Amino acid sequence: MNDDQLLRYSRHIMLDEIGIEGQERILEANILVIGAGGLGSPAAMYLASAGVGHIMLVDDDDVDLTNLQRQVMHTTARVGQKKAQSGRDALLQINPDIEVSAICERVGDERLAELVRGATVVLDCTDNFKTRHAVNRACFAAKVPLVSGAVIRFDGQVSVYDPRSDGSPCYSCLFPQDQNFEDVACSTMGVFAPLVGVVGAMQAAEALKLVTGIGTSLAGRLLLLDGRAMEWTSIQVGKNPACAVCG
């Protein structure tokens, strides 16, 4: 690290669990963030400020005025711009020393598999089960850890699915891909804006823990947040032997 990096990341370096070696791992990391909306915004912004060397931001949507209530990576001036491009601009303003790839496409299975194989950690910041299951399958196949978050109305959840560990469940263990779960859209149900910030920031924290190897990840635990009571519930989850993906 050069002198500017030592200064920029000094508060991380001061932590014994991270130090210079851990910060160098962050600088060398390649993190794939799928979704540049409510969850992807705070997650990507914290990853950028922490110095993740390469952030791949995937989203094919455009910035809409209705997004700005919660998608803090975007601005009024960038309404109509591709979210991935808007996000790249925001992240480089936070930290111009990192690399950000704006991938403005709805990635199919083959392209998704390619992106996942090149990642250190994957963050699922999407809002539909079909995409979440596709990301889960790609991460399991490539043995790349997945940090998954979701928020609707006043409720949030976050967990880690780490296929590097034989005992860790995958997303499909909890939400089987052959079952019909109803997608609930923010446009019809609403979402309490600060909660996406809370869950997105936790996704970034779990990703950085995985990169640096510190602490214990959320693998095997599902955290549920009730935003009305501001209460967390931790549920132990195990591998499903009959899972169609990892069983």
pLDDT 10s per residue in the chain (247 long)? 899 999 999 999 999 999 999 999 999 999 999 999 999 999 999 999 999 999 999 999 999 999 999 999 999 999 999 999 999 999 999 999 999 999 999 999 999 999 999 999 999 999 888 999 999 999 999 999 999 999 999 999 999 999 998 889 999 999 998 877 666 666 678 899 999 999 999 999 999 999 999 999 999 999 999 999 999 999 999 999 999 999 8
Q: Which residue has the tokens 């850890």?
A: 145
d(CA 208, CA 21): 13
End-to-end CA distance of the chain: 43
What domains are defined for the chain?
3-236 (3.40.50.720)
What sign does the CA torsion over 141, 82, 52, 213 have?
Answer: negative
d(CA 49, CA 108): 30
What pLDDT, on the 0 to 100 scale, is given for residue 186? Answer: 66
- Which DSSP category does 67 fall into? G
Count the Cβ atoms, other than its own, within 10 Å of residue 212. 21
What sign does the CA torsion over 217, 11, 232, 121 have?
Answer: negative
d(CA 34, CA 12): 26
pTM: 0.95
Q: Please identify which of the residues 125, 139, 173, 186 carries the catalytic annotation.
A: 186
What pLDDT, on the 0 to 100 scale, is given for residue 177? Answer: 82
Measured in whole angstroms, the distance separating CA 88 from the mean position of its chain's CA atoms is 15
d(CA 164, CA 84): 29
Phi and psi (nearest 5°) for 121? -145, 150
Strand partners, 155: 152, 226
The yes-or-no answer on residue 243 being catalytic is no
d(CA 68, CA 84): 15
What pLDDT, on the 0 to 100 scale, is given for residue 185? Answer: 65
What pLDDT, on the 0 to 100 scale, is given for residue 183? Answer: 64
Are residues 154 and 230 in contact, defined by beta-carbon separation less than 8 angstroms? no
Could you tell me the CA-to-CA distances from 30 to 63, 69, 135 in Å, in that order?
A: 25, 29, 16
